[in-house]
Structure 1
Amino acid sequence: MNNNQNVSETFLKNASELSALYVEDNLDVAKVAQKLLKLFISKIDHAANGEKALSKFKSKSYDLILTDINMPKMNGIELIENIREFDPHIPIIVVSAHGEQEYMFKAIQAGIDGFILKPLEPEQFKRVLFKAIEKTLIYKEHNKNLSILKQYQDITNKSSIISKTDPSGIITFVNENFLKVSEYEENELIGRSHAVIRHPDNPKEFFKDLWYTISKKKESWEGVIKNLSKSGKPYYVKTVIKPLLDDKGKVLEYIALRNDISEIMSEKKQLISSLESNNNAILIMIQIENFDILDKFYDTKTVEKIEHIYGTTLLNHMPHNQAFKKIYTLGDGCFAISEDFDKLVAQYPELDVEKQLHKFIKNTRNSTIKLENIDYDISVVVSYSIGTKNLYENVRYGIEKAIDENKNLIFANNLMKEAQKNAKNNIETIQMVKKALDDSKIISFFQPIIDNNTKKVIKYESLVRLINENGEVISPYFFLDVSKKGSYYTKITNRVIENSFLILDHIKDNVSINISVLDIENDAIREKLITLVTKPQYKGRVTFELLEDEHIKDYRKVREFIRLVKDVGNAKIAIDDFGSGYSNFERLLIYSPDILKIDGSLIKNIENDEFSRNLVETIVVFAKKQGIKTIAEFVENENIYNILTALGVDYSQGYYFGKPEKLI
């Protein structure tokens, strides 16, 4: 499991522990929205109008609010304004119809964190929801970190960023740390207000509240402020501002102590913050190619060193390296560069981004990282986007698309639309799988495997199928890979195992079951299979077809499983799709198979393709020398069957002998 998966699982786990209040007077819309919400958040309350919602909010703690605008008794705008009086931080999302767009400005003024248009689109709903959840989790984490930072503030002022102002808010003093983080000279700050370093992302109401607290209430104010350095870089400071009073309670001056907490913010957050501060930015994302393989070959420290060395030397490979300044390290061999595109073009009018990046990729490929006894050649995949909207999402998806399409460089503008479409399809597929599991519509079809000498059935292969709401039979091609991204794959595997062993109770023949390395590495599934093949009625009647997989984490578990099912259950082991994909003769040493299933891509062309015929013949000769049986898939006609028989293939499977179908 890579770091991205760890982060994703932690995010979803933390999100599931949050509580949400959903305010909607339309019960049909509420049901749809709550169904989507429950995919990520388990504790959800519903209120039919703003008045009831406010009552619930005052009596119970929530982490997230979703509200309609046009509602009886109290509308969404009034509700948001009331909530903000109690809690200025809680994320609020407006769920609005197109006809309510005239209220959007009021909603933004009231302090919302996002809006979702009706009718609800799952991908938009998920994207806006994730941003709000992310804000909640970050806020919780920040509170924890800021509490720790406060303790350090009390120890020494040397680590603090300090400024003083007169009663009117004019700066009278700044310390060295202030000058360093803000990048201003002292004479550029003294005599001015703190507005010079304020980031435009901060709402005006934020500073009104701050000023009211320290000047009218004459109380200390604490919080996190987003500032902007002289060079335009955003930074975050945890701030305490205290009014100093004379003996009559009159304000003499204000003193502010700050700690720079930009490093606490993840580099991804810093990057996104930087993008938000640019009107027209260029974002370049660089992914070390095959980083997951690098992660397997070397220990963690070595991988971290390689990643660090490349990150610190990355700009050396860029022809115009002086044009780029900040590198963001995003983890798992991924880096990003972002600049103000208009300034970049103004400074380097001759700059051709596409050519620069092609040269960068070539320069990287021609370089070598030397680390002790390791010489590691780096190759990268690059995605870039220019503009204002969805830059991060575009380039992130661009990296995935470039890897899938075996490209080194991709221009990623507007790729989010494609990603949204794919995500929507994935959500619909997951929902289809969930319903099929709930309704017992994950079933097994069985296809006969015949002995080439006798043409008699010697066993059946169990093949998973899904029956959708329309009664259509869906191939695993359309749902199995998507299911692996969630928790449903294991449930599907368990259902296939149950179906396969159930059929053994009703037929005299044997059954062949497809299992992946992912299944074997799952302790519960592995123990279940070992227990079942041990039962007397199933001994010697089961073949496990091992699906090829390049992501084997534990060869020891695979070998141990094979040894056990052979010893205790007299089971057979077959390697599926042999002759293509990741299949190789080295796997034979690991699996010690009884059977090789020759990949169908070789069989279906065997009549006219001499190479396919020669390759099949080579596999058969090798298998016979090793005492391994062979099965040919995709046997579609008599001519193919005759060729295979002449080559010495032991068994055949395909439509010529029978299609997959129910047996009971």
Structure 2
Amino acid sequence: MISIKDVHRFSHRLKLLYVEDNPQVREETVALFSPLFASVDTASNGVEGFEAYNKNSYDLVITDINMPRLNGIGMIQKIREIHPEQKIIAISAHDEPAILLDLIRRGINSFILKPINLDEMLKILYPVCRDTDTQNVNMELFEALRKERKNLKRVVQALQAHLKTVEIKNAQISKISEEQNTFVDNDPFLKEYFAIEDDQGDENVLFMSDDAEEMKELLLSLPDDLSQYSLQNESSYLTSAAVGVGKMSRILYRYTPFLDPLAKNLEELSEMMSLNSPFASLMFQKSDAMLSLFDAVCIDLGLYVHRFTRESMAMRNIHHIHEPTSLSIRQIIQLVVPAESNECNDIELF
């Protein structure tokens, strides 16, 4: 025999709409339903029942058949038109085969005869509540899986962007290393400059450790922000990248005027990125090439910061070191906002 406890196991999370025109029967039956369900809403006829159904979400509808204004069969038909899978139990004092067949054709899940017998009611409620609760649990699990898949997709996108950045960085490191070795070997002045332990000059510079650490963090996050922007088209990543470039510019301005050209180029790059016009579209059209250029700049600046954190260097000839980095920054700027001179217009993106 089905007990109240058996039914409550599946019904206690369900919301019920109970429609009955007889006030006394409605009150007595609600007293039976209330301990079983999470909530019980009532209506006195089919019109009120359908209005309540349109305003709220119910797991189960239990309705009388013979009611004024709109009977139970009419209300069931309206409910089925908007929710074909709605669980519905009909209650009636009549057990004529014609009525039962009509209710079956309209898709009711079960049928209770008046007067309501508790044991019979529990027997009918049990399978309907069990199936409804199981369906709800499956829907909750499906929604949880959908959210988890969405989160995993974001993680995979972030990892792909990071791996893409790492691949570009590795390629740029090899390329820049080869170019720097060739550049230094072929230029007697630079070869001598890098070989001298203590450069002669009127002014030396050594980055403060806090400034160096901040610039290193900014140089690490810049390529990732731009990669994420090129993948997800979220303006927050572009804003973060532009702010990072601006911070590096302000840090460099605090040191020797010999660093002003590099700081000014970074400042102009930051302003151009925050305009969110040609730069944004170019990041989508030629994202690989743009990321490669930014990685080259970040690698140069990273080596630059690393060296000036460890040793004080003369500023008199320092432009020979940061000039290649400045040229890379100018190349990005001129690609987005082409210069008027023919020479600048001839610059190509790889």
Is TM (by shorter chain) over 0.5?
no
- Which structure has the greater CA radius of gyration? 2
Q: TM-score range by the shorter chain?
A: 0.3 to 0.5
Higher relative contact order (CA 8 A, sep 6+): 2
Relative to the length of structure 1, the TM-score reads 0.21
Considering fraction of residues, name the structure with more strand: 1
Considering fraction of residues, name the structure with more helix: 2
